[in-house]
Amino acid sequence: MAARRKWIQLAVLALLIAVLPLFFPSGYYYRVGALIFVNALAVVGLVILIGYAGQISLGHAGFAGIGAYACALAPEHLGLHPSLALVLGAVVSGVVALLIGRPILRLKGYYLAVATLGFGILVSMVLTNERALTGGPDGMQVEDLGLRALLRDLGWRLSGGEFWYGASGIVLLIGAWLALNLYDSPTGRAMRALHGSEVAAATVGVDVAQQKLRAFVISAVYASVAGSMLALQNGYITPDVAGFMHSIEMVTMAVLGGVGSVLGATLGAAILTLLPQVLTVFAEYEQLVLGAVMILVMIFLPQGLLPSIARRIRGRGE
Amino acid sequence: MDSLLQFIFSGMTVGAVYALVALGFTIIYNASDVVNFAQGEFVMLGGMITVFAHQAGLPLPLAAVLAIVITAGVGVALNKLAIEPARGAPVVSLIIITIGASILIQGATQLIFDKQLHRFPAFSGDDPVRVMGATILPQSLWVIAGAVLVFVGLWLFFTRTLTGKAVLATANNRVAAQLVGINTGWVMTLSFGLSAAIGALAGVLATPITLVSYDVGVALALKGFAAAMLGGMGNPKGALVGGLVLGLLEALTAGYLSSQYKDAVAFLVILGVLFVMPQGIFGKKSTERV
Report chain B's mean pLDDT, rounded to a whole number. 89
B108 vs A contacts (CB less than 8 Å): 288
Q: What is the dihedral sign for C-alpha A149, A155, A160, A164?
A: negative
Residue A247's pLDDT is 92
A292 vs B contacts (CB less than 8 Å): 100, 104
Question: Model confidence at B46, in pLDDT bands (50, 70, 90)?
Answer: very high
Residue B280's pLDDT is 67
Interface list for chain B against chain A, based on CB atoms closer than 8 Å: 35, 81-82, 85-86, 89-97, 99-108, 110-111, 218, 222, 225-226, 229, 233, 260-261, 263-264, 266-268, 270-271, 274-275, 278, 290
Residue B204's pLDDT is 95
Cβ separation of B93 and A298 shorter than 8 Å?
yes
- Average pLDDT of B182-206? 93
Residue A137's pLDDT is 85
Question: Model confidence at A87, in pLDDT bands (50, 70, 90)?
Answer: very high
Cβ separation of B99 and A286 shorter than 8 Å?
no
- Closest to B207 (Cα-Cα) out of B49, B12, B100, B92: B49
A243 vs B contacts (CB less than 8 Å): none
Question: Model confidence at B117, in pLDDT bands (50, 70, 90)?
Answer: very high
Nearest to A255 among B81, B92, B261 (CB): B92
- Average pLDDT of A220-234? 95
Query: What b/e sequence results for B154-192 when a residue is b if at least 16 CB atoms lie within 10 Å of its CB, and e otherwise?
Result: beeebeeeeebebbbbbbeebeebeeeebebeebbbbbb
pLDDT in tens, A195-214: 878 888 888 888 888 899 99
pLDDT in tens, B98-112: 999 999 999 999 999
In this prediction, the answer to ipTM > 0.95 reads no
Asked if residue B9 lies in contact with residue B188, where contact means CB atoms within 8 angstroms, the answer is no
* Chain B residue with Cα closest to A299: B86
Nearest to A288 among B108, B226, B290 (CB): B108
Q: Which of the residue ranges A221-235, B209-223, B268-282 would you say has the lowest mean pLDDT?
A: B268-282
pLDDT in tens, A233-273: 999 999 989 988 899 889 989 988 888 888 988 999 999 89
B101 vs A contacts (CB less than 8 Å): 291, 295
Helix H or strand E encompassing B134 = strand B134-136
- Interface contacts A/B by beta carbons within 8 Å: 126
In this predicted model, which residue has the larger pLDDT, A280 or B140? B140
Residue A318's pLDDT is 41
Residue B283's pLDDT is 65
CA torsion B68-B69-B73-B78 (nearest 10°) is 10
User: Does the pLDDT at position A215 exceed 90?
Assistant: yes
Query: What b/e sequence results for A204-243 when a residue is b if at least 16 CB atoms lie within 10 Å of its CB, and e otherwise?
Result: eebebeebbbbbbbbbbbbbbbbbbbbbbbbeebbbbbbb
User: Does the pLDDT at position B113 exceed 70?
Assistant: yes
* Chain B residue with Cα closest to A116: B271
User: Does the pLDDT at position A281 exceed 80?
Assistant: no
| Nearest-angstrom CA–CA distance, A202 and B112 | 52
Chain B contact for A115 (CB, 8 A cutoff)? yes
Cβ separation of B97 and A110 shorter than 8 Å?
no
Residue B287's pLDDT is 52
| Nearest-angstrom CA–CA distance, B213 and B233 | 28
User: Does the pLDDT at position A128 exceed 60?
Assistant: yes
| Residues counted in chain B | 290
Residue A136's pLDDT is 83
Cβ separation of B99 and A248 shorter than 8 Å?
yes
B97 vs A contacts (CB less than 8 Å): 294-295, 298-299
Spell out the residues 6+ positions from residue B44 whose beta carbon is closer than 8 angstroms to its own: B105, B106, B109, B203, B212, B213, B214, B215, B216, B217, B220
pLDDT in tens, B74-102: 999 999 999 999 887 888 888 889 999 99
Report chain A's mean pLDDT, rounded to a whole number. 87
Q: What is the pTM of this model?
A: 0.88
Nearest-neighbour CA in chain B from A60: distance (Å)? 15
How large is the greatest C-alpha to C-alpha distance in chain A, in angstroms? 63
User: Does the pLDDT at position B289 exceed 60?
Assistant: no
- Average pLDDT of B223-228? 89
